[in-house]
Chain A
Amino acid sequence: EAGVTQFPSHSVIEKGQTVTLRCDPISGHDNLYWYRRVMGKEIKFLLHFVKESKQDESGMPNNRFLAERTGGTYSTLKVQPAELEDSGVYFCASSQKRGYNSPLHFGNGTRLTVT
């Protein structure tokens, strides 16, 4: 089966610009998560979708970040306007269920650099 795919793999933008990251989860996985790792620190939770519904967005840093999952398939994460501190690696993960026997499968991430 195809894994979680993320696009682009790298993005370099200037402060104030807009960037949209895309995540395609594993087919059939209702649960989709966004995480990010900033400046070599811990990987931090951003938000969680169940199908097209936002289940938990407690990790979203501010209203410059907007995540969508229209139709419950792929998801996008838009940063507008981007700031320097948004630089980092953004990971998407999916799981079939929520629980002990349904581990998260991560994509390879999008490395975002804001200059």
Chain B
Amino acid sequence: GENVGLHLPTLSVQEGDNSIINCAYSNSASDYFIWYKQESGKGPQFIIDIRSNMDKRQGQRVTVLLNKTVKHLSLQIAATQPGDSAVYFCAETLPNDYKLSFGAGTTVTVRA
């Protein structure tokens, strides 16, 4: 499942497929980016982060890609599982600020 290049508020993906969630960030001066996962009734949970001097970072089943040229951030989830159903937020911060500016969020629904 993928919302190619654009931020869409919802994404439906088949269990086992890969998911790609896109985010367009607002400030070209931002130098630190984070992806959060928010499950129903819970607060945002840190998934993975990336600094502006990198263009790719991998975690467990997740990969974050950063394209500073077009101010675009994406989160790739490999082999999506039912437990991955949640709202995913990207967030950015300015240098020496660390105050998070969140995107609108993408609701991911995993189909069995």
Contact = CB atoms under 8 A, between A and B. Distances in A.
Contacts, number: 44
A35 to B, nearest CB: 8
B102 A98 contact: no
A100 B89 contact: no
Interface string A84-103: 00000001010000111001
Contact of A91 (B34, B43, B51, B98): B43
A100 B43 contact: no
Contacts of A7: none
Interface string B35-52: 010000111111001010
The range of chain A's interface size is 20 to 34
A113 to B, nearest CB: 15
Given A42-B105, A91-B44, A104 B32 contact: no
B101 interface: yes
A107 interface: yes
Given A41-B104, A42-B103, A43-B102, A100 B32 contact: yes
Nearest to A56: B99
Interface of B: 32, 34, 36, 41-46, 49, 51, 89, 98-105
Given A91-B43, A103-B49, A106-B44, 15 more contacts: A33-B99, A43-B44, A43-B89, A43-B100, A44-B102, A45-B99, A45-B100, A45-B101, A59-B99, A98-B98, A99-B98, A104-B100, A105-B46, A106-B43, A109-B42
